[in-house]
Structure 1
């Protein structure tokens, strides 16, 4: 399973950290976090009601004045809008290589135009006992409107909701990602 492989890589690279594997929609944590950071997780929540519920769970897990920052694709991104408007099959390949594991990510953007849902296919190759083992998986990804994300954050209780470009924070990757930053208010607000 891909997430277990990625979790193993994370634990190897940052052994002093605590990692939790679970469905964020079902995660219940105490309010002990001063900040929550997420990279491209919320695009896997396929409807706005569930997205709002997830934001509420993050809100509950944070201390007052905590900062919540995350990236997620949005429909307003020029390259994504072009893909949906033209309804063509755009393939974009990514490779992640770590030790004896290679992951090929193949993205298809024409799965469900009306719902802004696309299909992402993963092929993983892992060297086990000197033999490469292949594993395939597929997942769906939803691209929300910026207004939908901001509304879901506000409905969860967050304030000072801002959208930036990941480039504003030093990202030099091939595609700039929308970066949302907001805050849980203090008790007195």
Structure 2
């Protein structure tokens, strides 16, 4: 996911606070009560570390992983108290076991194949203690039907950002947007272009993948029912699941 390196500066500046100001109260309600006060938490696809900072401020020991060196560079600068690693979500390995895991801002929709999603869930399961909770949010089809043909822009004296949604393919379940970025650096305007794809998964596909990876007791929460209003909440679902507990052997 090297394409996010060019985007990391804009992401760090514009995207973190707006989303997590709405998402964090949801995590406080459906996930954080199950995490020990000084617990170890894994932030999967951590971006530039905004959520890791909120969790660290709670006294939690946070490890963040992201495939983008640019995102991780910002995260290390933003949250010195946390630990960050450049790693693919479908192939990472971390020492020890964690009391909980989290992945936010529809990060898992960026996993474009079911087999790759299986690998992500398997890696998360292996990193968790038995009985530990994993929470993530994911966009369902209604979000892609309504939001992915929109355009968005930011124009400032020293930078410009243009995002244009190119729609949703109902056959492949893929959505795509084009991102054009300009930054004024050392007196020269520099341009960078990229395309971002997301995959729409059904709840049945998510259930099946979680079960195959070793999760159980999965619950789904409509983001709007939990207070996330506006476009950010449209079609967004928070999923809480649990790493299967070890079975106690029956007495002889």
Q: TM-score range by the shorter chain?
A: 0.7 to 0.9
Alignment of 1:5-44 (within 5 A): 5=8, 6=11, 7=71, 8-39=73-104, 40-44=106-110
Secondary structure in 2 aligned to 1:33? Answer: coil
Q: Aligned residue pairs: how many? A: 180
Alignment of 1:174-189 (within 5 A): 174-176=231-233, 177-188=236-247
Name structure 1 gaps, 5 residues minimum.
84-89
Secondary structure in 1 aligned to 2:130? Answer: strand
Corresponding position: 1:108 with 2:173? no
Moved runs in structure 1, 4+ residues, more than 6 A? none
1:131 is displaced (CA, Å) by 3.1
**Residue 45 of structure 1 corresponds to which residue in structure 2?**
111
For the Cα contact (< 8 Å) 1:11–1:17, is it kept in 2? yes
1:69 is displaced (CA, Å) by 0.7
Secondary structure in 1 aligned to 2:115? Answer: helix
Relative to the length of structure 1, the TM-score reads 0.79
**Residue 87 of structure 1 corresponds to which residue in structure 2?**
none
Counterparts of 1:12 and 1:104, CA distance in 2 = 26
For the Cα contact (< 8 Å) 1:43–1:141, is it kept in 2? yes
Assess, with a 3 A threshold, how the Cα gap between structure 1 residues 104 and 173 changes in structure 2: closer, same or farther.
Answer: farther
Counterparts of 1:10 and 1:93, CA distance in 2 = 28
Counterparts of 2:175 and 2:187, CA distance in 1 = 35
Assess, with a 3 A threshold, how the Cα gap between structure 1 residues 62 and 139 changes in structure 2: closer, same or farther.
Answer: same
Secondary structure in 2 aligned to 1:160? Answer: strand
Relative to the length of structure 2, the TM-score reads 0.61
Q: Which has the higher helix share?
A: 2
